[in-house]
């Protein structure tokens, strides 16, 4: 059917992380909301089991994952880089690693400068970070929320190797912290907090959407692919969509359209609607209605590289006879106690480093993995080993997400241009050297065998750089393709409204002008809380 004009106050496109929060907050305040999602409902119980949801959603599923791949990356020996993105209620929050960290306050103060709007400073954003979370241990504080929808808690099970890693960090001179999300605390190492409650994943869908589905003013349509924004001159008036697997098109109209499709789908939908760089649109056979050069530009991601060592004492996660007792206990631990390896995200500990003493604050983040899943292949689990991964938190290299077709089912061409900037190369080389030193500390000596990657023989800067180019991967944190700001390549203003188009906003990771020193999920939720608050105030 064609949905009636004037029924909705808002149309929200995408029931991912930001979309769930936007739709819920608007509906809670009595607005008539239509939420359209290309994927399915997240009713499969596997998505509540932390370790299984990651393995299934990231590595196996084609039904619940958009499965993007970059074009061959010139600086990475022509390799294509995998980018999983969730296609279901909750989006990537239903398959991500659940790590809940905010990054450094200076990240957000930089956004305030770029947008010339102090409401994007960390001090101003703090209320929205707090509004989104409910910290299970300790409750509300000056920096932490105690009653938000997203439950945040320490893991109920930590791998024994992770504790040894923490001791090794202290031996290497790093300080330990109990809370990365208090004040200016992106320094040192600690156990990460997770979006979990009693051992179960708490996605944006379970936190925001499901508790509001009973509302008569919230209408949700899964398996609905939005193909374009409907425009009347320079104003958005609705959207056109169709069943994801194909079928007749439908239209829905509203005075406000909010795109929450994420870093790839939001710029693509703008392009399909005739909004974007004129040369790219015309080359794809799309009439340019509004020339907006920055759409699809400014693509950034955290590039990840791991130093891997053997584990001859066989404590690490692996498929082996020595791991069989742990594997057999795991289902019972989960069912009876909501504990054990199935509640883990696989990287329960980590921290932050500086690539150089000359920089003002940390630009590298570590994740300790008590196992290996090298290149997303099961072969990485056939042998006991563990790895310390480091990624570049604030990359200088910039890429593009370019439309090549008017077919909404054809993915954008992704060119990340990883390691294009020499400063990024130097920072990751420093990161490899530092995590190597941590792995050599006495606390890990009884667990550690030989260095498998890059290998002790690789010690020169050029050798380490070659190793990085051959083995690095994405940390799955892409952002920036519809950036907020005032310059010629900005796509949205400080209120997240698309420049030059009335009634059209973007609320997701694509609006982030620069990357943050952390996993970006908590940042996306704060953006959504801020955006909904602003919309409801106008």
Q: Which residues are catalytic?
A: 477
State the SS3 of 160-206: HHHHHHHHHHHHCCCCECCCCCCCCCCCEEEECEECEECCEECCHHH
Tell me the C-alpha to C-alpha distance, in Å, between residue 111 and each of 103, 484, 512.
13, 8, 8
The candidate with the shortest Cα–Cα distance to 370, out of 392, 393, 389, 342, is 389
Q: Is 202 left (phi over 0), alpha (psi -120 to 50) or beta?
A: beta
Residues in the chain: 538
Residue 197: beta bridge partners? 200
Neighbours of 268 (CB within 10 A): 23
Q: Please list, in sequence order, all residues whose beta carbon lies within 8 angstroms of the beta carbon of residue 81, skipping any fewer than 6 positions away.
A: 69, 70, 73, 416, 418, 473, 474
Cα separation of 345 and 51, whole Å? 5
Are 63 and 56 within 8 A, CB to CB? no
Cα separation of 481 and 265, whole Å? 10
Are 48 and 200 within 8 A, CB to CB? yes
Are 390 and 435 within 8 A, CB to CB? yes
The candidate with the shortest Cα–Cα distance to 97, out of 373, 329, 377, is 373
DSSP string, 201-229: E--HIIIIIGGGTT-TTEEEESSEEEEEE
Neighbours of 282 (CB within 10 A): 11
The structure tokens listed for 303 are 């590039």
Are 409 and 347 within 8 A, CB to CB? no
Q: How far is CA 66 from the centre of its chain?
A: 14
The structure tokens listed for 154 are 């320490």
Locate all alpha helices (DSSP H) within 225-312, ordered by sequence.
Answer: 262-272, 278-283
Torsions phi, psi of 146, nearest 5?
Answer: -120, -5
Element (H, E) at 21: helix 17-28
Torsions phi, psi of 242, nearest 5?
Answer: -150, 165
> What is residue 418's three-state secondary structure?
coil
Are 33 and 219 within 8 A, CB to CB? yes
Residue 343 DSSP label: G
Cα separation of 296 and 302, whole Å? 17
């Amino acid at each position: 059917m064609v949905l009636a004009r004037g029924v909705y106050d808002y149309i929200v496109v995408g029931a991912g992380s930001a979309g769930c929060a936007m739709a819920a907050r608007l509906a809670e305040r009595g607005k008539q909301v239509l939420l359209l999602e290309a994927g399915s409902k997240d009713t499969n119980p596997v998505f509540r089991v932390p370790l299984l949801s990651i393995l299934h959603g990231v590595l196996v599923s084609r039904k619940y994952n958009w499965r993007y791949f970059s074009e061959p990356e010139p600086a990475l020996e022509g390799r294509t880089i995998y980018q999983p993105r969730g296609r279901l209620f909750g989006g990537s929050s239903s398959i991500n690693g659940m790590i809940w960290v905010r990054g450094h306050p200076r990240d957000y103060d930089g956004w305030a400068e770029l947008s010339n709007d102090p409401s994007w400073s960390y001090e101003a954003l703090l209320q929205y970070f707090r509004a989104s979370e409910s910290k299970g241990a300790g409750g509300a504080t000056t920096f932490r929320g105690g009653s938000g929808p997203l439950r945040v808690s320490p893991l109920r099970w930590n791998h024994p190797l992770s504790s040894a890693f923490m001791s090794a960090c202290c031996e290497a001179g790093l300080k330990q912290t109990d809370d990365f999300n208090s004040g200016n605390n992106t320094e040192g190492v600690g156990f990460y907090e997770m979006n979990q409650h009693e051992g179960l994943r708490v996605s944006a869908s379970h936190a925001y959407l499901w508790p509001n589905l009973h509302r008569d003013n919230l209408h949700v349509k899964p398996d609905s692919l939005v193909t374009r924004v409907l425009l009347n001159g320079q104003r958005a008036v609705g959207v056109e969509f169709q069943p994801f697997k194909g079928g007749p098109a439908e239209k829905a109209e509203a005075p406000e359209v909010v795109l929450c499709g994420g870093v790839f789908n939001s710029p693509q939908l703008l392009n399909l609607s005739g909004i974007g760089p004129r040369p790219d649109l015309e080359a794809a056979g799309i009439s340019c209605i509004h020339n907006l050069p920055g759409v699809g530009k400014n693509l950034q991601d955290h590039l990840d590289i791991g130093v891997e060592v053997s584990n001859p004492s066989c404590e690490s996660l692996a498929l082996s006879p020595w791991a069989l007792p742990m594997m057999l206990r795991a289902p019972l631990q989960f069912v009876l106690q909501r504990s054990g390896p199935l509640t883990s995200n696989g990287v329960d500990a980590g921290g932050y480093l500086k690539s150089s003493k000359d920089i003002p604050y940390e630009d590298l983040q570590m994740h300790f993995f008590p196992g290996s899943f090298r290149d997303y292949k099961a072969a990485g689990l056939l042998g006991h080993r563990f790895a310390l991964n480091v990624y570049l938190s604030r990359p200088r290299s910039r890429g593009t997400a370019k439309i090549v077709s008017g077919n909404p089912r054809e993915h954008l061409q992704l060119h990340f241009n990883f390691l294009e900037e020499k400063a990024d190369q130097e920072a990751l080389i420093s990161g490899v050297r530092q995590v190597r030193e941590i792995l050599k500390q006495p606390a890990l000596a009884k667990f550690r065998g030989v260095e498998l990657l890059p290998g002790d023989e690789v010690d020169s800067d050029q050798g380490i750089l070659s190793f990085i180019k051959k083995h690095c991967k994405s940390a799955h944190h892409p952002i920036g393709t519809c950036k907020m700001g005032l310059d010629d390549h900005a796509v949205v203003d400080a209120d997240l409204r698309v420049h030059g188009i009335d009634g059209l906003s973007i609320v997701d990771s694509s609006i982030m002008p620069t990357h943050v020193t952390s996993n970006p999920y908590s940042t996306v939720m704060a953006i959504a809380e801020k955006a909904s608050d602003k919309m409801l105030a106008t």
